């Protein structure tokens, strides 16, 4: 696996509302065309923080591979804006499996191949009594995300997604799209064999159906957003038995479904 991380922000000259020139930073965004066994699969637009993990997470999330062990190598070369994946045994029926398209609009027109919806009923999250989270943990997670230094602070216009175990931040990925950020988290988990059952995902982006499905595929039962949720995201979370929280900021949050996983504490309730 290459380590082709690249510059995440670029300086740009702008003119402000008063007509004055100044220099600000913008998040970088690059096309990365994914080839699997020399076959072109898709072009992802990414910030480039961890492109190899993004590619792995994408293949896993799309169900094109079941396990990272199926992959022999991932080579990212920014000169040609390409990621070449070689598998040990090829991918059965890759042509048909990448043929159906759903253009979703979790703020973009996101692509999910049709198959993704078909197997959600096979996804199993841990029972609420085995995956509880305290109100205190939730508030600390929100605060940790708020304080994290990253591209967003320098340049704005990116989404961050972070994986937590209790109040410990395990990994935070920023990307131009929150879908790529969560796919990259998925790649990271797969490479380390990390299980999602006792984890929490927090994202700065909205919780759309795609985000909920992606989190469920990672086995994460509690998903929190600084932003809101869509009706479809909520419907899927209910069907999956996921705990979904939004509008998480400062000492506030809204739990849309799955509040049986949250342990409220009398001492804290007065503060919220």
Residue 42 lies near its own copies (rule: CB under 8 A): yes
CA distance 260 to 101: 35
* Residue 103 touches its own copies, criterion: CB under 8 A: yes
Q: Which residue reads 């799209």 in tokens?
A: 177
Which structure tokens are listed for 49?
């923080």
Mention every residue, 6+ apart, whose C-beta is less than 8 A from residue 150: 158, 160, 172, 174
* Sole residue written with tokens 């991380």: 5
Binds its own copies (CB under 8 A): choice among 49, 116, 145, 178: 178
Residues 43-62 that bind its own copies (CB under 8 A): 43-46
CB of 195 to its own copies, least distance (A): 25
Give the interface size with its own copies as a residue count (CB under 8 A). Answer: 72
Q: How far is the CB of 235 from its own copies (least distance, A)?
A: 9
Give the one residue of 108, 128, 166, 197 binding its own copies; rule: CB under 8 A: 108
**Quick one: 42 or 125, whose CB is closer to its own copies?**
42
Does position 174 interact with its own copies (CB under 8 A)? The reply is no
Q: Which residue, 124, 146, 152, is CA-closest to 47?
A: 152
Scan residues 203-222 and list those touching its own copies (CB under 8 A).
205-206, 208-210
Pairing of strands 39-46, 30-36: antiparallel
Q: Is 181 helix (H, G, I), strand (E, B) or coil?
A: helix
Asked if residue 138 binds its own copies (CB under 8 A), the reply is yes
Q: Is 16 in the site for its own copies (CB under 8 A)?
A: yes
How many other CB atoms are found less than 10 A from the CB of residue 79?
A: 6
């Amino acid at each position: 696996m290459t380590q082709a991380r690249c510059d995440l922000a670029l300086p740009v000259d702008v003119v402000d509302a008063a007509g004055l020139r100044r220099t600000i930073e913008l998040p970088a965004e690059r096309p990365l065309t994914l080839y699997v066994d020399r076959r072109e699969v898709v072009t992802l637009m990414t910030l480039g923080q961890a492109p190899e993990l993004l590619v792995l997470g994408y293949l896993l999330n799309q169900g094109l591979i079941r396990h990272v062990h199926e992959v022999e190598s991932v080579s990212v070369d920014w000169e040609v804006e390409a990621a070449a994946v070689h598998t040990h045994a090829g991918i059965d029926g890759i042509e048909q499996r990448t043929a159906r398209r759903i253009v979703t609009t979790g703020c973009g027109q996101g692509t999910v191949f049709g198959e993704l919806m078909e197997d959600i009923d096979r996804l199993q999250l841990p029972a609420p009594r085995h995956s509880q989270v305290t109100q205190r943990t939730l508030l600390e997670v929100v605060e940790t995300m708020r304080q994290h230094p990253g591209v967003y602070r320098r340049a704005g216009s990116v989404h961050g997604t972070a994986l937590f175990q209790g109040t410990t931040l395990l990994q935070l990925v920023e990307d131009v799209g929150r879908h790529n950020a969560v796919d990259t988290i998925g790649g990271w988990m797969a490479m380390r064999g990390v299980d999602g059952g006792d984890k929490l995902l927090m994202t700065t982006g909205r919780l759309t159906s795609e985000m909920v499905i992606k989190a469920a595929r990672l086995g994460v039962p509690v998903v929190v957003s600084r932003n809101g949720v869509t009706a479809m995201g909520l419907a899927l979370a209910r069907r999956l038995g996921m705990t979904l929280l939004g509008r998480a900021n400062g000492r506030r949050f809204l739990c849309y479904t799955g509040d049986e996983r949250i342990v409220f504490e009398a001492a804290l309730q007065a503060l919220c």
